[in-house]
């Protein structure tokens, strides 16, 4: 089992022992039940042995708390979660209080990059590959459509995947331009919904999280939005954008502070709504 040497390694790197631990945070869901079961069972067993509390954490919510690792959080705020499997827009009212404003109706932003990468014959994960190729684009004249979902704050990326395939068939001699067009379409959809949300909610802060938030094209567009609207854009460091224990610990801290601990009968949840 890999979990035991991982825990030992982390403690050694941190110059800590188990006696220094006041509580344990573990991903309770959503996700693959087998992996969740191992993590939750180990966390509860270790917590029981150490006689300390254990906190169950929502994996997707935890992404946003990567922003709390370097600076204080400010509320109210908008939270944009963009990962390989999820794209959601939240109104973040307080540390453990948020409303879901919009979610993807089909595929996530990260899936669009992954599919585009496969179409272009690139590697996985697709996000870094699409970004790398897009940087080499010179003309930047190709365009891909962005789904129009009316007044909602939902997202849809299934159409752009199909359009990318068609664009590639007609411009297979311009992989850089196709990659740039895909990146711009995804960025436009994300930033467009943020602009719509800003028109409805009075906030001065936007927090971004998830693996796709590492994309430099998105980061540049968000910084431009912040300067244009005179609001603060918060994006975690690259190493905090993908799944990591630090973000789980960050959310776990706030849940533990409120006494939201797991009891002996609570286990993993493969399906766990973001709300």
DSSP line for 161-196:
HHHHHHHHHH-TT-HHHHHHHHHHHHHHHHHHHHHH
Task: Indicate whether this model's pTM tops 0.75.
Answer: yes
Same domain, 254 and 148: no
C-alpha to C-alpha distance for 140 and 172, rounded to whole angstroms: 15
Q: pLDDT value at position 242?
A: 82
Domain count, the chain: 2
- Digit-by-digit pLDDT tens for the chain (275 residues) are 688 999 999 999 999 999 999 999 999 999 999 999 999 999 999 999 999 999 999 999 999 999 999 899 999 999 999 988 889 999 999 999 999 999 999 999 999 999 999 999 999 999 999 999 999 999 999 999 999 999 999 999 999 999 999 999 999 999 999 999 999 999 999 999 999 999 999 999 999 999 999 999 999 999 999 999 999 999 999 888 887 899 999 999 999 999 999 998 999 999 988 87
Q: What three-state secondary structure class fits 101? A: strand
Domain with 61, as residue range(s), is 1-70+241-275
Strand order in the sheet with 205-209: 97-103, 87-94, 77-82, 205-209, 232-234
Q: pLDDT value at position 84?
A: 81
Same domain, 104 and 16: no
Q: pLDDT value at position 244?
A: 84
Q: pLDDT value at position 238?
A: 87
Q: pLDDT value at position 138?
A: 95
Same domain, 113 and 41: no
Same domain, 181 and 59: no
Same domain, 27 and 133: no
Same domain, 63 and 87: no
C-alpha distance across the termini of the chain, in Å? 33
Strands (E) across 6-133 are located at 24-29, 54-58, 77-82, 87-94, 97-103
Same domain, 246 and 230: no
Q: What is the largest CA-CA distance in the chain?
A: 63
Helical axes 109-119 vs 158-170, angle rounded to 10° = 20
Strands (E) across the chain are located at 24-29, 54-58, 77-82, 87-94, 97-103, 205-209, 232-234
């Amino acid at each position: 089992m890999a979990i035991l040497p991982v825990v030992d390694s982390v403690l050694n790197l941190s110059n800590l022992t188990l006696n220094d631990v006041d509580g344990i945070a573990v991903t309770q869901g959503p996700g693959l039940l087998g992996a969740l079961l191992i993590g939750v069972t180990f966390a509860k067993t270790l917590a029981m042995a150490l006689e300390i509390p254990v906190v169950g954490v929502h994996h997707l919510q935890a992404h946003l708390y990567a922003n709390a690792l370097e600076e204080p959080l400010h509320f109210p705020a908008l939270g944009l979660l963009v990962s390989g499997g999820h794209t959601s827009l939240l109104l973040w009212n307080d540390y453990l209080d948020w409303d879901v404003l919009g979610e993807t109706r089909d595929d996530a932003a990260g899936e669009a990059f992954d599919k585009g990468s496969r179409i272009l014959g690139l590697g996985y994960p697709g996000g870094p590959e699409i970004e790398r190729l897009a940087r080499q684009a010179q003309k930047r004249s190709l365009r891909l459509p962005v789904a129009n979902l009316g007044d909602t704050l939902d997202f849809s990326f299934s159409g752009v995947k199909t359009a990318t395939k068609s664009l590639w068939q007609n411009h297979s001699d311009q992989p850089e331009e196709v990659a740039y067009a895909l990146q711009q379409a995804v960025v436009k959809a994300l930033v467009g919904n943020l602009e719509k949300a800003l028109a409805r909610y009075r906030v001065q802060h936007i927090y971004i999280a998830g693996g796709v938030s590492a994309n430099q094209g998105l980061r540049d567009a968000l910084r431009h939005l912040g300067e244009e609207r005179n609001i603060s854009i918060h994006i975690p460091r690259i190493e905090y954008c993908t799944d990591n224990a630090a973000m789980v610990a960050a959310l776990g801290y706030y849940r533990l502070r409120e006494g939201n601990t797991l009891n002996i009968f609570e286990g993993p949840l493969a399906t766990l709504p973001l709300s």
